[in-house]
Amino acid sequence: MQPTTTAFYDANTSTVSYVVHDPATRDAVIIDPVLDYDPLASQTSTESVDAILRHVRSEGLRVRWLLETHAHADHLSAARLLAQHLDAPIAIGERITEVQRTFKPVFGLGDEFATDGRQFDRLLRDNEVLAAGSIAVEILATPGHTVACVSFKIGDAVFTGDALFMHDYGTGRCDFPGGDADALYSSIHERLYRLPDDTRVFVGHDYQPGGRATRWETTIGESKRRNVQLRADTARADFVALRRARDAGLASPRLLYPSVQININGGRLPPADPHGTRLLRLPINRRSPTDDFGNPAR
C-alpha cells in the first residue's frame, strides 16, 4: 500500500506543505511546513500550523520526521514550532552548512551563530534512506535553486521542493547566492527525469499560471513531455540561457530576508532582548549600495 499524501496550500506564499502517512501504521512525515508571517505588522501567526495539527490529530498520526527540502526564501519554516507540538526531529540536506556560511555575513550574525548545521536534528546525505517508522524516505540531492536542495522520494511519489514545479510553470529560480542553472539542469534532467515516468511529482509551490486553479501534483512523464522550461529533449545550454534570462528580470521574494534568516537557524525566531522584543536583521540596499544618505555609491 502506498503512503497517503495530504496537501496544505498557503495562498499568501503559494507554498504547498505535505503530510505523508502510512495508512496501516499511522506513521507520518511533514514536508515544508509554513509559519504565517505578516511583514507589514511583523507578526507571526499559526493558521497553517493549526490546520496541519488538526489533520495529524484527527487521523491519529505519529509524526516521525519534519523534513525541509531547503532553506526557503519565501516563507518562514514552522518546523521548529511543530517539533515542540509533536516531539519530532527536523532534517534538511547536509549542504545547509554552505548556505549558513553564505548568509551569516549578510545578516551580520556573530560568533554565536554556528555554521555546522547543529540547528537541525539531522543533516541528510544524498542517496541515504531515512527511516520514518514504516515509511522509507529516499534522499535525492537536487541542487540548483540552492546548493542545499534535496527532493524526497517516498513510495511512488517524489517531493521536489523548488527544483521542479508543475509542467505549465517550469522550474525554480537560480539567482540566489549559490544558485546555479547548470546544476539545476543536472538535478532535473539527470536525476529526477530518470525516475519512472509514472512517479507522482508533488511540487513546493504553485503560482497558478494563466489564472488556472491551484495544482500541486503531476508526474515525471508529464514533466518530461510538457514542462515549459525543461523537457526531456531540452538541451542544457538552452535551459541555462532561458533560466538566466528569466531570473534577471525577477523581483526578490517579499519575505526573502526574514525567511532566510530564520530558516538557516532551524526555524527559530531571534531571541528576545531584555525588553522582550525579537529583532530581525535586514540588510538595506545590498544589491545597489548607497552612501549614508541613500545616494547611489560610486
Where are the domains positioned within the chain?
Answer: 4-263
The class (CATH top level) of 4-263 is alpha beta
pTM value?
0.96
Instruction: Please report the beta strands in the chain, taking only residues with DSSP state E, as ranges in sequence order.
Output: 4-10, 15-21, 27-31, 34-38, 43-45, 62-67, 76-77, 90-93, 122-124, 129-132, 135-141, 150-154, 157-159, 200-202, 217-219
DSSP 279: -
Q: CA–CA separation, 27 vs 3, rounded Å?
A: 9
Averaged over 216-231, what is the pLDDT? 98
pLDDT in tens, 84-130: 999 999 999 999 999 999 999 999 999 999 999 999 999 999 999 99
Taking CA atoms, 236 is separated from 190, 228, 246, 250, in Å, by 11, 14, 15, 21
Averaged over 211-225, what is the pLDDT? 98
Residue 287, pLDDT > 90, answer no
For residue 65, what is its C-alpha cell? 520526521
Q: Is 22 left (phi over 0), alpha (psi -120 to 50) or beta?
A: beta
Query: Bridge partners of 137?
Result: 130
pLDDT band at 297 (very low <50, low <70, confident <90, very high): confident
Q: CA–CA separation, 238 vs 241, rounded Å?
A: 5
- What percentage of residues in the chain have a pLDDT greater than 90? 97
Determine the pLDDT at residue 298.
78
pLDDT in tens, 18-32: 999 999 999 999 999
Determine the pLDDT at residue 178.
92
Residue 286, pLDDT > 90, answer no
Determine the pLDDT at residue 97.
98
Determine the pLDDT at residue 197.
98
Residue 181 and residue 144 in contact, taking contact as beta carbons nearer than 8 Å: yes
For residue 84, what is its C-alpha cell? 515542540
Determine the pLDDT at residue 213.
97
Residue pointed to by grid coordinates 544589491: 287
Instruction: Compute the mean pLDDT over every residue in the chain, rounded to the nearest whole number.
Output: 97
Averaged over 144-171, what is the pLDDT? 98
Q: What is the 3-state secondary structure (H, E, C) of 50-71?
A: HHHHHHHHHCCCEEEEEECCCC
pLDDT in tens, 34-64: 999 999 999 999 999 999 999 999 999 999 9
For residue 19, what is its C-alpha cell? 503530510
Q: CA–CA separation, 165 vs 144, rounded Å?
A: 13
pLDDT band at 1 (very low <50, low <70, confident <90, very high): confident
